[in-house]
Structure 1
Amino acid sequence: MTTTAHAWAVPGFAQPLVATDIERRELRPDDIRIDIEYCGVCHSDIHVATGDWGERRYPLVPGHEIIGRVSEVGSAVTDFRVGERAGVGCIIDSCGHCHCCGQGAENYCLTGPIKTYGEDNRYADGEYTQGGYSTSIVVKDSFGLHVCESVDPAATAPLLCAGITTYSPLKNWGAGPGTKVAVIGMGGLGHVAVKIAAAMGCEVTVFSRGDSKKSDALAFGAKDLIATGTGNFAEDHRGSFDIILNTVSADLDLDTYMQCLRLDGVLVQLGLPMKRMGAMPRTFTQFRRSLAGSFIGGISETQEMLDFCAEHGVGAEVEIIDAAGINEAFTRTLASKVRYRFVIDCSTI
């Protein structure tokens, strides 16, 4: 039997969110039901809601940074128990047998991972996925995540996107003690990148247009913040960094930033600008520099990230809002008037 969940949804293309009810599927043997406590507001939620990334089926419930408690488990579930705190991130299913899924990289599933909202779930009879701006969600147990009881659940919710998006490339490119890491931008994604890189033992520098966030950057574990709007920062920091994470979606001159890479250094693109990006060939051939990209992470790696952050006390800086404030939160996020992530108290839905 399906169950009704209260939610906030986009009722039509590029329209403000409104309160509504949605149906969640009946539990299958390998499903868990989570009563949602908190859901982070990700910038990608805004892109989808405002139509930046095209039409979807409506009503559409955003949200893929979900923390709550298990309220029901299917008959075959052994890894979760009722009452346990659990999370759901950006994907809720994949084919399970392609080369990528076989390596625990379901996020790169060759047939396409099923995103937490806004997609037809071909593994659940075409069910249209609805996200975490709601009171509950049903998800396959193998795509649920265990959340330590000792952490702040509101501060942990954004880690299910911002955390894994930054943890995965840092791990993949060998970040650790002695590694010099630069983070471009210190917003909702970048401030988490600074905290995680610092917890890994890296020497962290922030590139930001101005210096207004310098005290925050230092408090989060960075050694320095470089204001890119004044002076010739690239010349001053030529050949300085092993890894640069670009967390912004602005159209940057990547040649300039890549000049700051050391031998075999890599600039990893995380933000999603709407225009093509690239650099001159000589930028790559000098010092064997690389330009790469990264997209969230697989389920086992996301669990590893959550455990790492719990162990090292890493959480996002959040402002908790009632559900009625979601539309205003979207507006403030677009105006960069949040420190640093909005999280919805889903008990207010």
Structure 2
Amino acid sequence: MSSDHKFEGWCGLDKDSVKGQMKWQPYDPKPFTDTDVEIRISHCGICASDLHTLRSGWGQTPYPCVVGHEIVGRAVRVGAAVTHIQPGDRVGVGAQSGSCLRPECEECASGIENHCQVSNTNTYAGFFPDGSKSYGGYADYSRVPGHFVIRIPEALDSAAAAPMLCGGITVYSPLKREGCGPGKRVGIVGLGGLGHFGVLFAKALGADEVTVISRSSAKKEDAMRLGADKFIATNEEADWADKYALSLDLIISTVSSPDMPLEGYLGLLRVRGTFIQVGAPEDKLPGFLAFALIVKGCKIGGSAIGSPKEIQEMLHLAVEKKIEPWIQERPLKDANQAVVDMNNGKARFRYVLRNEKHEA
């Protein structure tokens, strides 16, 4: 099964591309192999990671770069070794499109490929073992290893599914792993693309109480509409750290600021509570006294996206619980303006690019 598709997309050529200066142009995808799937893209979410990468915020980006790792579309070419995907299936790809997958790899063999320490390829701005570069979803087509291609449940809208493939799984994975469910009180720091998914999935997993923690009360009404039970505005409540001390079992932090009041957040944890950082700042996190952990036996950790198995599990939960993310669809042709608007904090809460010529 051959392909004559032309690979074109919005290419970031330098650090100024984040200012709405991406260029639509062709690029060369990885060579097709029997383990690959080619996708005709209909939707792609815009993630904060896209902005960090476009401006080389996490290190030098290998330009040209096509960002976008919340990809949904139709499989149009399927390698002979891929058995779980058929041509015509509606599929998705998240932030990871490669790992070593060796049976001797502890992470890959145990189903946590997202933490593979041997070979981990990001869906864009990464490199495959053969040296070819990975390109993302602000484009017409995507070619990726089939292991990381997920079937989208029929009951789930494509535009809604797209941002779940990174934004959703980034919070779902630690929520599920750390025991979010009945009897648990959960805090979500930040109410953006990640944070709003944090509220939705914490409630879907059965948490007794969900508290949103933000700098101001500007998003309080949105938080309550999403299902939150409480709201803490840290810049408006002078005694918030004392008032809400020992009130949460688990905190998921989606913010990425070196100035966040981390020690105050840790004070909100109950005995043996857990703080998980998923927001990835370009600078270091603030320091804190070790006693914030020692006295209560608390722990602090991090989490990165999720495995293909977890993503599939999350999508089925989204169908079961009728989860509806707050998204705003933007035409793919307007990707530059959408990136600028995202950078200016205008998204409520996730932009999804719609490739109108492929949507049908």
Range class of TM-score, shorter chain: over 0.9
SS in structure 1 at match of 2:50: helix
Does the 8 Å contact 1:13/1:55 carry over to 2? Answer: no
Cα distance in 2 for residues equivalent to 1:307 and 1:81: 19
Aligned residue runs from structure 1 range 262-341, under 5 A: 262-273=270-281, 274-341=283-350
Alignment of 1:1-349 (within 5 A): 3-15=5-17, 16-97=21-102, 98-122=105-129, 125-202=130-207, 203-231=209-237, 232-250=239-257, 251-273=259-281, 274-347=283-356
Q: Is the 8 A contact 2:29 2:134 kept in 1?
A: no
Q: Is the 8 A contact 2:187 2:248 kept in 1?
A: yes
Aligned residue identity for 2:41:
I
TM-score of the pair, normalised by structure 1: 0.95
Residues 52-73 of structure 1 deviation map (CA, whole Å, 9 limit, x = unaligned): 1232222210010001111121
Point out where structure 2 has 5 or more consecutive residues left out of the alignment: none
Which amino acid is the alignment partner of residue 254 of structure 1? Answer: L
Q: CA deviation at 1:164?
A: 0.7
Distance 1:69 1:83 in 2: 6
Q: Secondary structure at the match of 1:121?
A: coil
Deviations for 1:153-172, whole angstroms, at most 9, x for unmatched residues? 11111111111100111111
Matched to 1:224, the amino acid is K
Q: Which amino acid aligns with 2:115?
A: Y
Paired with 2:278 and 2:305, the residues of 1 have a C-alpha distance of 9
CA contact (8 A) 1:194 1:221 kept: yes
- Counterpart of 1:206 in structure 2: which amino acid? V
Higher mean C-alpha displacement, 7-16 vs 170-179: 7-16
Moved more, 181-190 or 310-319: 310-319
TM-superposed CA distance for 1:348, in Å, is 5.6
Shift of 1:333: 1.8
**SS of the counterpart of 2:319?**
helix
Q: CA deviation at 1:6?
A: 2.2
Which amino acid in 1 is paired with 2:265?
Y
Alpha-carbon distance, 1:327 to partner = 2.2
1:241-291 deviations in whole A, cap 9, x for unaligned? 000111001221211111110111011111112124332011111111111
Retained in 1: the 8 A contact 2:253–2:278? yes
Q: 1:26 Cα deviation (Å)?
A: 5.0
Counterpart amino acid of residue 232 in structure 2: I
Aligned-partner Cα distance in 2 for 1:126–1:120: 6
- Give me the whole-angstrom Cα distance separating, in 2, the residues matched to 1:169 and 1:26: 34
Q: Contact conserved, 1:319 with 1:339, CA < 8 A, in 2?
A: yes
1:130-186 Cα deviation digits (max 9, x unpaired): 011111112222111010111111111111111110011111111101110010110
For structure 1, which segment, 267-276 or 63-72, has the greater mean C-alpha deviation from structure 2 after superposition?
A: 267-276
Alpha-carbon displacement from aligned partner over 1:194-239 (angstroms, at most 9, x marks no partner): 0000111111010112222222211211112121112211111110
Give the deviation of 1:296 after TM superposition. 0.8
How far did 1:192 drift?
0.6
Query: Which letter maps to 1:229?
Result: N
The alignment yields a C-alpha RMSD, in angstroms, of 1.6
Q: In 2, distance between residues paired with 1:128 and 1:100? A: 23
- Cα gap change, 1:278 to 1:297, in 2 (>3 Å): farther
Structure 1 residues 27, 96: closer, same or farther in 2, change over 3 A? same
Give the TM-score taking structure 2 as reference length.
Answer: 0.92
Once residues 324 and 114 of structure 2 are traced to their aligned partners in structure 1, the CA distance between those partners, rounded to angstroms, is 23
